[in-house]
Structure 1
Protein backbone atom coordinates (compact mmCIF):
# COMPACT_ATOMS: atom_id res chain seq x y z
CA UNK A 1 0.00 0.00 0.00
CA UNK A 2 1.22 3.49 -0.81
CA UNK A 3 0.83 6.33 1.65
CA UNK A 4 -0.83 9.57 0.53
CA UNK A 5 1.19 11.75 -1.84
CA UNK A 6 3.72 9.00 -2.55
CA UNK A 7 4.62 7.12 -5.72
CA UNK A 8 3.41 3.55 -5.80
CA UNK A 9 5.72 0.62 -6.46
CA UNK A 10 3.90 -0.06 -9.74
CA UNK A 11 4.45 3.54 -10.87
CA UNK A 12 8.16 3.34 -10.04
CA UNK A 13 8.49 0.02 -11.87
CA UNK A 14 6.71 1.41 -14.94
CA UNK A 15 9.07 4.40 -15.02
CA UNK A 16 12.11 2.11 -14.79
CA UNK A 17 10.85 -0.26 -17.49
CA UNK A 18 10.08 2.48 -20.02
CA UNK A 19 13.23 3.31 -22.01
CA UNK A 20 14.41 6.91 -21.61
CA UNK A 21 14.49 7.31 -25.39
CA UNK A 22 10.75 6.76 -25.63
CA UNK A 23 9.89 9.38 -22.99
CA UNK A 24 9.18 12.98 -23.79
CA UNK A 25 11.16 15.73 -22.10
CA UNK A 26 8.02 16.58 -20.14
CA UNK A 27 7.75 12.99 -18.89
CA UNK A 28 11.41 12.98 -17.88
CA UNK A 29 11.08 16.25 -15.98
CA UNK A 30 7.88 15.07 -14.27
CA UNK A 31 9.53 11.80 -13.21
CA UNK A 32 12.56 13.67 -11.89
CA UNK A 33 10.46 16.09 -9.87
CA UNK A 34 8.13 13.45 -8.46
CA UNK A 35 11.03 11.12 -7.65
CA UNK A 36 12.86 13.87 -5.79
CA UNK A 37 9.70 14.78 -3.88
CA UNK A 38 9.07 11.13 -3.08
CA UNK A 39 12.60 10.68 -1.74
CA UNK A 40 12.26 13.81 0.37
CA UNK A 41 9.00 12.48 1.80
CA UNK A 42 10.70 9.11 2.36
CA UNK A 43 13.36 10.75 4.51
CA UNK A 44 11.16 13.26 6.38
CA UNK A 45 8.42 10.97 7.67
CA UNK A 46 9.66 8.41 10.25
CA UNK A 47 9.17 4.76 9.25
CA UNK A 48 6.98 4.10 12.29
CA UNK A 49 4.44 6.60 10.93
CA UNK A 50 4.12 4.83 7.57
CA UNK A 51 2.18 1.81 6.44
CA UNK A 52 4.13 -1.45 6.58
CA UNK A 53 4.43 -1.64 2.80
CA UNK A 54 5.58 1.96 2.47
CA UNK A 55 8.10 1.52 5.27
CA UNK A 56 9.56 -1.59 3.60
CA UNK A 57 9.72 0.14 0.21
CA UNK A 58 11.46 3.16 1.75
CA UNK A 59 14.03 1.00 3.56
CA UNK A 60 14.78 -0.76 0.29
CA UNK A 61 15.04 2.54 -1.55
CA UNK A 62 17.46 3.94 1.04
CA UNK A 63 19.62 0.82 0.69
CA UNK A 64 19.75 1.21 -3.09
CA UNK A 65 20.55 4.92 -2.79
CA UNK A 66 23.36 4.26 -0.32
CA UNK A 67 25.10 2.12 -2.97
CA UNK A 68 24.88 4.74 -5.74
CA UNK A 69 27.62 7.17 -6.64
CA UNK A 70 27.61 10.64 -5.14
CA UNK A 71 26.36 12.89 -7.91
CA UNK A 72 25.40 16.51 -7.51
CA UNK A 73 21.76 17.52 -7.94
CA UNK A 74 22.72 19.21 -11.24
CA UNK A 75 24.25 15.97 -12.55
CA UNK A 76 21.17 14.02 -11.44
CA UNK A 77 18.91 16.54 -13.20
CA UNK A 78 21.00 16.21 -16.38
CA UNK A 79 20.74 12.42 -16.18
CA UNK A 80 16.98 12.69 -15.75
CA UNK A 81 16.74 14.80 -18.88
CA UNK A 82 19.09 12.50 -20.79
CA UNK A 83 21.80 15.15 -20.99
CA UNK A 84 24.27 13.52 -18.60
CA UNK A 85 27.60 11.99 -19.54
CA UNK A 86 27.44 8.46 -20.88
Structure 2
Protein backbone atom coordinates (compact mmCIF):
# COMPACT_ATOMS: atom_id res chain seq x y z
CA UNK A 1 0.00 0.00 0.00
CA UNK A 2 1.11 3.53 -0.70
CA UNK A 3 0.11 6.83 0.85
CA UNK A 4 -1.58 7.74 -2.47
CA UNK A 5 -4.25 5.16 -1.71
CA UNK A 6 -5.42 7.29 1.20
CA UNK A 7 -5.44 10.62 -0.63
CA UNK A 8 -8.94 12.06 -1.00
CA UNK A 9 -10.43 12.68 -4.39
CA UNK A 10 -13.63 12.02 -6.29
CA UNK A 11 -15.32 9.02 -7.85
CA UNK A 12 -18.49 8.51 -9.84
CA UNK A 13 -21.26 6.59 -8.07
CA UNK A 14 -23.97 5.08 -10.25
CA UNK A 15 -27.14 3.94 -8.46
CA UNK A 16 -29.42 1.27 -9.94
CA UNK A 17 -33.14 0.72 -9.37
CA UNK A 18 -32.48 -2.63 -7.62
CA UNK A 19 -30.49 -0.87 -4.86
CA UNK A 20 -27.04 -1.81 -6.11
CA UNK A 21 -24.39 0.70 -7.14
CA UNK A 22 -21.13 1.06 -9.04
CA UNK A 23 -18.15 3.13 -7.89
CA UNK A 24 -15.48 4.01 -10.43
CA UNK A 25 -13.27 6.67 -11.99
CA UNK A 26 -11.22 7.90 -9.01
CA UNK A 27 -9.36 11.16 -9.58
CA UNK A 28 -7.97 13.79 -7.20
CA UNK A 29 -8.93 16.52 -9.69
CA UNK A 30 -12.44 18.03 -9.44
CA UNK A 31 -12.49 19.12 -13.11
CA UNK A 32 -11.62 15.64 -14.33
CA UNK A 33 -14.27 14.18 -12.02
CA UNK A 34 -16.96 16.49 -13.44
CA UNK A 35 -15.99 15.51 -17.01
CA UNK A 36 -16.23 11.82 -16.12
CA UNK A 37 -19.64 12.42 -14.57
CA UNK A 38 -20.89 14.22 -17.69
CA UNK A 39 -19.52 11.48 -19.94
CA UNK A 40 -21.38 8.86 -17.90
CA UNK A 41 -24.62 10.91 -18.03
CA UNK A 42 -24.25 11.20 -21.81
CA UNK A 43 -23.67 7.49 -22.24
CA UNK A 44 -26.82 6.44 -20.36
CA UNK A 45 -29.09 9.32 -21.38
CA UNK A 46 -30.62 7.70 -24.48
CA UNK A 47 -30.38 4.03 -23.59
CA UNK A 48 -33.29 1.75 -22.77
CA UNK A 49 -31.79 0.97 -19.35
CA UNK A 50 -30.79 3.92 -17.20
CA UNK A 51 -29.35 4.25 -13.72
CA UNK A 52 -31.58 5.74 -11.02
CA UNK A 53 -28.89 8.33 -10.23
CA UNK A 54 -25.30 9.20 -11.12
CA UNK A 55 -23.28 11.60 -8.98
CA UNK A 56 -19.82 12.40 -7.61
CA UNK A 57 -18.73 11.22 -4.19
CA UNK A 58 -15.69 11.95 -2.05
CA UNK A 59 -13.55 8.81 -1.98
CA UNK A 60 -10.01 7.51 -1.74
CA UNK A 61 -8.21 5.53 -4.40
CA UNK A 62 -8.39 2.54 -2.04
CA UNK A 63 -12.20 2.88 -1.82
CA UNK A 64 -12.48 2.57 -5.59
CA UNK A 65 -9.76 -0.08 -6.06
CA UNK A 66 -11.32 -2.38 -3.47
CA UNK A 67 -14.90 -1.83 -4.56
CA UNK A 68 -16.72 -4.82 -6.12
CA UNK A 69 -16.98 -4.50 -9.89
CA UNK A 70 -20.69 -5.24 -10.14
CA UNK A 71 -23.78 -5.30 -7.96
CA UNK A 72 -22.51 -3.83 -4.71
CA UNK A 73 -25.17 -3.08 -2.10
CA UNK A 74 -22.83 -2.25 0.77
CA UNK A 75 -24.02 0.57 2.99
CA UNK A 76 -20.45 1.51 3.98
CA UNK A 77 -19.43 2.59 0.45
CA UNK A 78 -18.83 6.29 -0.19
CA UNK A 79 -22.14 8.02 -0.93
CA UNK A 80 -21.57 11.66 -0.08
CA UNK A 81 -19.86 14.56 -1.78
CA UNK A 82 -18.40 15.64 1.59
CA UNK A 83 -14.74 15.03 2.31
CA UNK A 84 -13.39 14.37 5.75
CA UNK A 85 -12.75 11.81 8.42
CA UNK A 86 -14.56 8.50 8.29
Q: Same fold (TM over 0.5)?
A: no
Structure 1 length normalisation: TM-score? 0.31
- TM-score, normalised by the number of residues in structure 2: 0.31
Higher strand proportion, which one?
2
- Return the structure number with greater helix share: 1
